[in-house]
Structure 1
Amino acid sequence: MAYEHDYAYDYAEYEALPQDMLEDYLYGNPAMLYNQHDYMYDHMDHEYTADISYTDLMFDCIIPTLQQGVQIVTPLLLLCVGFRFFAYAGFPSNALHFFSCFSGLCCVFLFFEMNLIYLLYLGVIGYIILWMLQYYTSIRYKGAIVAAVLVVLLILCELFLVSGKEWHKIRGSQMMLAMRIISLSLDVDQGTLPELPNPMQYFGYCYFLGGVIFGPWVSFQQYCQIEDPKNMDLSWLWKVLKSFVKSLMCLVISVCIAPTLTGVYALNRWTNAYQAALSFRFSHYFISFMSEATTAISGIGFTEFENHYQWDLRVAKPWHVEFPRSLVEVVTYWNIPMHNFLKNYIFNTAKVLGAFPAVIITYAVSAILHGLNFQLAAVLLSLGLFTYTEHVLRRRLSQIFNACILAKRCPTGCSHQYKETDVIVFLANMTFGLCAVFHLAYLGVMFDSNAQLQEEGYAADHTLSKWAELDYASHYVVLVCYVFYKLI
């Protein structure tokens, strides 16, 4: 049935929330975006209170935060600029890919020091497996084999081979690396790429400077845009500056503005929960826009037209998250590259087994990539329950009232009698949007700013205690909505 396929795909989107983003918001960060937001905050020692004047806020928090934020990302930005001019100088392709790998590893060392050895292990093992499999033409599903091996390696590292504290630091970058290797192997397996890239191309892609720290995930075809360096025009410069400024604005809101709302609007536990989730969401937007800037500086993220380039890479769309139509929309625009990866490489590959198995496989791969812990599983399973209930309820109401109130926005010229512009339809969609904000505050309340918990990971008792403080309200609301759906 078409509906079953749509729901299965929608559910697969829910896993588009990297766990490091899950920690940033409700919901994880990796990504990115990825666990790197913890690195940023560990290196920024500012203190603030909710009850301060605007002058104190400016000079005691905003200015120091901007200074420290710029100071931390400056080495990465300078390396990206150097790489861009290296590409512009017209060096041979293999030299360009080598410099991409070398500069990326230097950047990893600056941020994570000797923990870069774990990234090297994963990249080398991935290439060895790909190289060996290409000589066995009788073996089917080579991409799936590579993905399975990488998943097993990640599980072994997290549970047995690497300390939890050290693994937590690099988990975001490991996730990005694993996603690149998996997508590359599936592209080769499915014929999207005619052959396995040579070692310089492979390692240049794996450790691409523009995305090795903050992300985002890009396909190998997108990565090869670095070989077209003649597009350093004003639109490129504007994209870089715009993303960089937006990133710093989101950092200020997350660190300085959002926490003050606790004192101004501390009406009850729900407003406090919303404030905490708001701070985490904007820390994710900070990473998202910074990743746009570093990727664009390095020469990736454009669409070429006949006589110009359009720099159109988007990692997140905050407006659609802060003012959502539905939870489905939140997940889609939370991390667009991650959403595309899960849709194209995991769900579409697994759906030959059926819609439900594809959903389970997508969920399992996403959870393992983000890390094995109760917090992640609880949030993702809850999101699956919430979004499924919202989807089927709004679908049923749309059929009954012949109105555009589906979880996904109707295309132009749909057959519904009552359109988005009708007052009742507008109010109904707004109500569901407010309900989505309510659920996001509930799911995000557990991801507080406790430094020890961020460093070690959130335990089950922490998650359940936070939800218990809110009387498990969202779960009860969803239960009522599901019963109502069954009754109608």
Structure 2
Amino acid sequence: MGDSDEDVIYGYDEEEYGLDVNFNAAECAIGVLQQTSNNLIYLFGAAFLCLFLRKIPLVFRANAYMIISHFLIYQFSSEFWGIFRFFNMVTFSGIVMVGLKIRGNIILFTQIAIIMIFQLLLGTEYMLGVRGILMLHAMRVIAVGYELENSNGEPCTFSILEYLYFPPVLVMGPFLTHQQFVSFQYGQVGGFKQIVKNISLATVLLCGSLTALLISSCYLNMLKAPNVWVEDFIVALSFRTSNYFVCYLSQSVMQFLGTEIVVTEFGEIEWPRSMATIVSYWNIPMHMFLHTYIFSKNVFSTVCCNAFYTFVISSLLHGYDPQISITLLTLGFITFSEARFRRKLAKRFSMCVKAKECYEDCQHTNNGLISSLINFTFRILSLYHLIFTGMPFVDEYASTGYPWEHTYESYENHNFASLYISLALLLFSFLL
């Protein structure tokens, strides 16, 4: 702003304190909230309708859910007919394969193939706008396939349809297993006090979600980074807060419906014990899906291969996205290396330093200052890994897709530090 009268009145220079004087955060916040408000009305309106639709017969309820879902798709997507075709293709293929008792693994790869074909036909830019909706829908089909592949009875088509097209979780999530959905669908609504409690908690979660949205979209843009390290920190933080927006919004909707589901824990991410903690708490329902239906199926004989397979499947469910794939595989390598090293270290020196916190009755004996320092060091290291894996997600390519060269250059700017550190930990783990 320079040496204007306003600087004299307020006693500081915004540019000196790293603020972008040309960016109006208040106007940005008002604009973002205005754009978001209509979508929130549609989303919570659909949730409100579903509370009443629970009491009608299954056949009518399933059809009502399908109508509401397509209305939401129309509101949230600029290319309605493209995603309409995808949804019905996924649903039809899933129901047919479940009815034929086809194995869950085949259903899994069929859904991934459909996602890839959809992206090829409609383009990457369009795919980026609806990827979350498509991925969640495919995940529900996959979950049904795995849950019903060993069932003795005939699956009820309308029961599957109401699960696949449940409107409140269609756009933002969270992912619900078929069993979780059934528990909600046929559970008790509760009395007046419970309803007030649900609305109050949903409001608090919604406020937290919108706060994260404003931080990500507006307030972080006020900051002018004095160097590349601070700039990378801001970009990574913006990426994380955008995730908090989606997660807490979906949690708010479920709380409004009377179902308490924890979707994320920002405290466990912003001050993590390990990278395993971040992976687990980033999106808890997504993590449970991958653990239950992918990792726990033990496609391979070793934990390492199954972990790598899980991260590959996770990246494929996002469609063809080089940066997402590189980021997820990098996360997998960092997480596995750290967990293996800390597990070996804990066993070798009998200390509570594993990636996941020990139980209270563990048998480790050396839990003094050194153990605390090791855990603290890995917390700081995890914070750096958060920056390293989050810094490529700049706004420049957000709407068109991130080329792999951009990700490579971002890692190169940090001399691939996280990868080399993780490689060193992996090598040291073989020596312990």
Distance in 2 between residues matched to 1:357 and 1:388, nearest whole Å: 11
Amino acid at match of 2:49: G
User: Are 1:478 and 2:422 counterparts?
Assistant: yes
Shift of 1:466: 1.5
Q: Which residue, 55, 72, 76 being the options, matches 2:39? A: 72
2:98 maps to 1:130: yes
AA in 2 matched with 1:279: S
- Structure 2 stretches lacking a partner, 5+ long: 1-17
* Partner residue, 1:167: 127
Q: Is the 8 A contact 1:276 1:444 kept in 2?
A: yes
Q: Given that residues 119 and 127 in structure 2 are in contact (C-alpha distance below 8 angstroms), is that contact kept between their aligned partners in structure 1?
A: yes
Does the Cα contact within 8 Å between 2:311 and 2:332 map onto a contact in 1? no
Structure 1, 63-72 or 250-259: larger mean CA deviation: 63-72
CA distance in 1, matches of 2:314, 2:412: 27
Structure 1 distance, partners of 2:337, 2:304, is 16
Aligned-pair RMSD on alpha carbons?
Answer: 2.4
**1:208 maps to what in 2?**
166
State the SS of the aligned residue for 2:298.
helix
When Rg is computed on C-alpha atoms for both structures, the one with the higher figure is: 2
Question: 2:29, 2:420 → 1: CA distance?
Answer: 40
For 1:50, the equivalent position in structure 2 comes to 19
- 1:249 aligns to 2:216 (yes or no): no
Match of 2:247 in 1: 288
1:119 corresponds in structure 2 to 87
1:50 counterpart letter in structure 2: L
- On the 8 A contact 1:398/1:404 being kept in 2, the answer is yes
After superposition, residues 44-443 of structure 1 pair within 5 angstroms as 50-52=19-21, 57=25, 59-87=26-54, 90-112=55-77, 113-117=80-84, 118-131=86-99, 133-134=100-101, 142-159=103-120, 161-191=121-151, 194-198=153-157, 200-224=158-182, 225-228=184-187, 230-231=189-190, 233-260=195-222, 262-263=223-224, 266-299=225-258, 301=259, 311=260, 313-351=261-299, 355-419=303-367, 422-443=368-389
Give how far 1:110 is off.
0.9
Give the AA of the match of 2:317.
L
Query: Structure 2 CA distance, aligned partners of 1:296 and 1:99?
Result: 22
Partners of 1:436 and 1:97 lie apart in 2 by 45
- Please point out which of 394, 398, 406 is paired with 1:448: 394
Cα pair 1:101 1:207 within 8 Å, conserved: yes
Q: Which has the higher contact order (CA 8 A, sep 6+)?
A: 1
Contact 1:115 1:166 in 2 (8 A): no
Asked whether the 8 Å contact 1:250–1:286 carries over to 2, the reply is yes
- 1:456 to partner: Cα distance: 2.3
Deviation larger for 441-450 or 380-389: 380-389
Q: What is the deviation of 1:270?
A: 1.6
Deviation at 1:360, TM superposition (A): 4.5
Distance 2:107 2:355 in 1: 35
State the partner residue of 2:3: none
Counterpart-to-counterpart distance in 2, 1:402 and 1:353: 28
Report the CA distance between 1:345 and its aligned residue. 1.1
- 3-state DSSP of counterpart to 2:149: helix
1:325 alignment partner, SS class: coil
1:329 CA displacement: 0.3
Q: CA deviation at 1:467?
A: 1.6
Q: CA deviation at 1:283?
A: 0.6
Secondary structure of 2:359 counterpart? coil
Task: Give 1:4's aligned residue.
Answer: none
Matches of 2:301 and 2:354, distance apart in 1: 28
Separation in 2 of the partners of 1:50 and 1:84? 46
The TM-score with structure 2 as length reference comes to: 0.87
Question: In 1, Cα distance between the equivalents of 2:344 and 2:38?
Answer: 53
Q: 2-side partners of 1:285 and 1:185: how far apart?
A: 30
Amino acid paired to 1:62: A
**8 Å Cα contact 1:403/1:425 also seen in 2:** yes
**What one-letter code is carried by the residue in structure 2 that aligns with 1:276?**
V
In structure 1, the residue corresponding to 2:247 is in which secondary structure? helix
What letter is aligned with 2:177?
S
1:483, distance to aligned residue in structure 2 (A): 4.3
**Alpha carbons of structure 1 residues 60 and 455: separation in structure 2 relative to 1, 3 Å:** closer
Letter in 2 for 1:436: S
Deviations 1:459-481 (A, max 9, x none): 11111111222222222333343
Q: For residues 356 and 431 of structure 1, do their structure 2 counterparts lie closer, same or farther at Cα, with a shift above 3 Å needed?
A: closer
Determine the C-alpha separation between the residues in 2 that align with 1:237 and 1:100.
22
1:401 is displaced (CA, Å) by 2.9
TM-score (norm 1): 0.78
Contact 1:325 1:433 in 2 (8 A): yes
Q: 2: CA distance between counterparts of 1:201 and 1:50?
A: 54
Structure 1: tracts of 5 or more residues without a match: 1-48, 135-140, 302-310
Q: Tell me if the contact between 2:128 and 2:399 (Cα under 8 Å) persists in the aligned partners.
A: yes
Distance 1:50 1:206, change over 3 A: farther
Q: Distance in 2 between matches of 1:486 and 1:182?
A: 37
Percent of paired sites with the same residue: 27
State the distance in 1 between where 2:180 and 2:278 align: 25
In the TM superposition, what whole-angstrom CA distance separates every residue of 1:240-297 from its partner, at most 9, and x where no partner exists? Answer: 212211111111221233333x43xx34322211111001100110000111122333
